[in-house]
A and B are shown apart, each in its own frame.
Chain A
């Protein structure tokens, strides 16, 4: 993490970074460059901390969704969270500005939380719709995945519709939002994301023996005392919250939620007592690494992290997939 704070457009030495980080603890005793303190605390550190937290959220969310939907392709985005959040953001960017005109523009630029709130609200609407749909049909993995895909398409179509009516600048803003940008994260966003992770990750860990039972199939899990339907709905809700919280702040960041659990599963196996914490760590490491690369690869330009996660994560994933001899799913 510290190394990641060092690198970037302006390079700051390791010792400077450490001094800058501890600076607020003892402002009188340390001699530090205020420029460095500013960069570290306002630009680099929030970004790095958010990468770690968001990666962790995606890792856990992907892990529990893959098991409850018993689908290796499941990720937070299978349940429509990404496309609905993107629609929420687009709604705020395009309609917000369109309806309220000049005032709307001011509101959006002065108050970016309008986009955040809209993105979060839309992803919750989408998750709720999926939960209700799958609950009515007995919450089987197949129905849930199909409901998720249906929602993804509806929200993508709605976003396209908005973009069709938006101005060039607005469309550019929407597209840029969907790239995902950790640089947008502020300390308030970080606290909220941390809170989501802190409350939900222990719950998923607590449920790990139930997740293990679900590996044996719904009926067996039921005979082992697991209320599979409730577990599936609760897990959907938790995964949606874990994903919607960070992406509302930083935009959609793909692949981590899909890859992190797979990489963890390939390395440590399918026992969720170990798989959930290691998916969390893998997610953090992947996203932090991707963001670090995004900052240095074409410096001084910073690439959107969403692009790098795919470029970096997919070869790693394919490498693991091809070199492992045992079937892991």
Chain B
């Protein structure tokens, strides 16, 4: 589904977090939000899944304002992985992933729900952990379980807040590859906030750079200029090409 963020502004009391943010994400597209700490990435994601309601502007999904959807209906379309998920009750990984089926099921899960959960657990390579309690998992395993829950929701729009947090290099690439492939296959619109510029450049179609709540760059990843990143992050950077011709951003000390 197509997401349009149109002139969204949001403030926490007097603190302005988002200022007239506008961009579009097409189905099957992966968009990365880049920006320094406190630039409004998380706030923007929360506005898109209607946890926060923007003061000005609208977010539409396939042309329909998200405020019109009921919470339950929106949950069938939009999946959200928060930056930190700290409450770890001793549910098993399987039960945790099954929570993702909540918008689609009644009191008890159907066979189809169970099937989807099993498939998602396999996709993320969590089979061996399926019946371990989530409060006994390592940080990375836990992160994957959280992502699995959002995928089990089978959303058409997927919002990820620093999905690669706590993941080692191998799992970062594994998870992002999976998300990228699913986005293509199921025509999911993916928006992810991240601090890893190189992963963002490699795995997304478009980049949105936020600074102090304003968009300073929005476009295809090939179009981004080092000067924009330098100014936003206040560090000198060097851009080099790897053997496959992909750009790599290296900060200068």
Residues of A in contact with B (beta carbons under 8 Å apart) = 70, 205-206, 208-210, 212-213, 215-217, 219-220, 222-227, 269-271, 273, 326-329
Contacts and interface: CB of A to CB of B under 8 A. Distances in A.
A222 B91 contact: no
B82 A220 contact: yes
Given A206-B107, A225-B76, A270 B71 contact: no
Contact of B153 (A70, A208, A224, A271): A224
A264 to B, nearest CB: 13
Nearest to A213: B102
B207 interface: no
A4 B102 CA distance: 42
A47 to B, nearest CB: 34
Given A206-B107, A209-B107, A273-B108, A225 B102 contact: yes
A70 B80 CA distance: 21
Contacts of A270: 89-91, 95
A37 B106 CA distance: 47
11 contacts: A70-B87, A210-B102, A215-B91, A220-B80, A220-B82, A223-B51, A223-B82, A225-B76, A226-B71, A326-B90, A329-B90
B168 interface: no
Contact of A224 (B85, B103, B108, B136): B103
A108 B79 CA distance: 59
B167 interface: no
Given A209-B107, A212-B102, A225 B46 contact: no
B107 A225 contact: no
A269 B133 CA distance: 10
Contacts, number: 86
Contacts of B80: 219-220, 223
B78 interface: yes
B138 to A, nearest CB: 15
Contacts of B106: 209
Contact of A227 (B71, B105, B108): B71
Contacts of A219: 46, 51, 80, 82
B100 A273 contact: no
Interface in B72-105: 72-76, 78-80, 82, 85-87, 89-92, 95-96, 99-100, 102-103, 105
A225 B51 CA distance: 10
Q: Which of A219, A225, A271 has the most CB of B within 10 A?
A: A225
Contacts of B71: 222, 225-227
Contacts of B105: 209
A217 B82 contact: yes
Given A217-B86, A327-B90, A327-B135, A224 B107 contact: no
A215 B92 CA distance: 12
Contact of B99 (A70, A206, A213, A222): A213
Given A209-B107, A213-B99, A213-B102, A223 B75 contact: yes
A216 B76 contact: no
B209 interface: no
Nearest to B46: A219
B81 to A, nearest CB: 9
B49 interface: yes
B79 to A, nearest CB: 7
A225 B90 contact: no
Contacts of B96: 216
A273 B95 CA distance: 12
Nearest to B133: A326
Contacts of B76: 225
A215 B103 contact: no
Contact of B87 (A209, A210, A216, A328): A216
Nearest to A216: B99
Contacts of A209: 102, 105-107
A212 B99 contact: yes
Contacts of A273: 107-108
A11 to B, nearest CB: 44
Given A209-B102, A212-B99, A216-B99, 5 more contacts: A208-B107, A224-B75, A224-B103, A225-B72, A269-B91
Contact of A216 (B49, B74, B85): B85
Nearest to B86: A217
Contacts of B135: 326-327
Contacts of A215: 87, 89, 91, 99
Interface string B39-65: 000000010011100000000000000
B101 to A, nearest CB: 9
A225 B78 CA distance: 10
A175 to B, nearest CB: 39
Contacts of B51: 219, 222-223
B53 to A, nearest CB: 12
Nearest to A230: B71
List of 10 A-B pairs having minimum Cβ-Cβ separation, nearest first: A225-B75, A223-B80, A225-B72, A225-B103, A215-B89, A224-B102, A270-B89, A217-B87, A225-B71, A213-B102
